[in-house]
Amino acid sequence: MYQKDNVHSILHKGNKWTHAYWDEFATLPAIVPKGPVAIFGLGGATAAHLMLELWPSLLLVGWEIDEIVLIEKAREYLGLSDLEKHTEVGGVLEVRIGDVLSPSVTIPGGYAGIIVDLFSDGKVLPQLEEVTTWLEMNKMLMPSGRLMVNCGAATKELPNTSSDPWELNATINALCEAFPEQVSWKKLPKRAGENYLALTGPLPDLAIWSARLPDQLSSSVKEWRSCTPS
């Protein structure tokens, strides 16, 4: 599903794997407390398909602001309706329509994790480059909950080559400022779009995290690194 130079969602027939950043989101349930996981920017529910396949008892709460163009089309063409039915072990995707940057998206007790995938016109929402946005969103988490964020590609070109994500990506920079020494990052390869991803909270034990995941994801989580701006 495309919209203004931005791929919101894809679904391969008979295969939930995308070989892109959506697959990475399926690693989050392994490192958060038991409880509901939110997807801010549900789109056509690409990430939700794989997450419920790997974690069939998971309660997903998918927030999307565009009901007509995205949600209704995803129900018609991308199998979203199937995810809104409970699995045999109780997992389900609950679709909510609204602005995730408003207080109305909070739930009693908080979310165990929040996946943030918010884009407009092919760019990360500008609010995600503001420290206050992350401080407010963090309040929606239960204790030990985490945010996992699609930060998009590099937003700056520096005169000298830099591998520091907080210098190259404004969203990671804002996250590092909001949560000092509590942000990790990884960069996807060129074939997967070269997006930066960020994760809040202490850097997980990568060996334990890896062991909880299927082979397709177990090695990729070992690429996460702590953000430690000097």
- Cβ neighbours of 3 (radius 10 Å): 16
CA dist., res. 202 & res. 182, Å (int): 5
CA dist., res. 197 & res. 149, Å (int): 6
Answer yes or no: is pLDDT of 11 > 80: no
Answer yes or no: is pLDDT of 164 > 80: no
Q: Provide the pLDDT for residue 2.
A: 36
- Higher local confidence (pLDDT), 193 or 104: 104
Spell out the domains of the chain, with CATH numbers in brackets. Answer: 2-223 (3.40.50.150)
- Region 1-22: what's the mean pLDDT? 59
Element (H, E) at 82: helix 80-83
| Residue range 35-66, pLDDT digits in tens | 999 999 998 899 999 999 999 999 999 999 87
- Kindly give the residue spans of alpha helices, DSSP state H, lying in 113-193: 131-138, 165-168, 170-178
44-80 burial by CB neighbour count: b if 16+ within 10 A, else e? bbbbbbbbbebbeebbbbbbbbeeeebbebbbeebbb
Phi and psi at residue 49, to the nearest 5°: -60, -50
Answer yes or no: is pLDDT of 3 > 60: no
Cα 43 to Cα 6, 70, 137, 157, distances in angstroms = 11, 6, 19, 29
CA torsion through residues 114, 40, 216, 190, sign: negative
- Region 113-130: what's the mean pLDDT? 93
CA dist., res. 38 & res. 147, Å (int): 10
Q: Provide the pLDDT for residue 161.
A: 52
Return the percentage of the chain with pLDDT > 90, whole number.
Answer: 67
> Binning pLDDT at 50, 70 and 90, where does residue 106 land?
very high
CA dist., res. 230 & res. 228, Å (int): 6
Highest mean predicted confidence (pLDDT) among 15-19, 75-79, 98-102, 133-137: 133-137
